[in-house]
Amino acid sequence: MNSKLFKNIIIFVFGTIFNKGMNFFILPILTYYLTKEDYGMIGLITSVVTISAIYIGFFPSTFIMVKYSKFGKEKMAKYVSNILIIMLITFLIVCGVLYLFKDYIFTSYQDSGYLVIYIAFLCFFQVFWQQLSTIIQIEKDAIKYVLLQFMQTIAIIGLMLLLITQFSWGWKGKFFAELFIFFLSTLYAIYYLYKNRYFEINFDMSKIRELVKFLFPLSFYVVGLYIMGTVDKIFLANLISLEAAGIYAIAITMSIIINMVFDAILKAWEPYLFEFLNSNSYSDKIQAVKGIYLFSLFVIVFMLFYMIIVPYLFHFMIDEKFNEALLYLPILIIAYSFEGLRKPVTELLNHLDRVKTIGTITFLAAILNVVLNIYLIPIYGIYGAAYATAISFGVLYLITLFYALKHCHLPWLLK
Q: What percentage of the chain exceeds 90 in pLDDT?
A: 14
Please provide the average confidence, as pLDDT, over all residues in the chain: 83
* pLDDT higher than threshold 70 for residue 109: no
Res. 23: pLDDT tops 90: no
- What is the mean predicted confidence (pLDDT) over 295-311? 91
Per-residue confidence at 110, pLDDT binned at 50, 70, 90? low
CA distance linking residue 195 with residue 177, whole number of Å: 27
Question: What average pLDDT does range 227-233 have in this prediction?
Answer: 76
Q: What is the mean predicted confidence (pLDDT) over 205-234?
A: 79
Is pLDDT of 226 > 80? no
CB 342 within 8 A of CB 265: no
- Distance of alpha carbon 174 from alpha carbon 31, whole angstroms: 13
For residue 323, pLDDT over 70 is answered with: yes
Per mean pLDDT, which of 147-151, 201-205, 271-275, 390-394 is the most reliable?
390-394
Q: What is the pLDDT of residue 211?
A: 83
Q: Residue 108 — pLDDT band, cuts 50, 70, 90?
A: low
pTM of the predicted structure, to 2 decimals:
0.72
The region of weakest confidence among 57-61, 89-93, 159-163 is 57-61
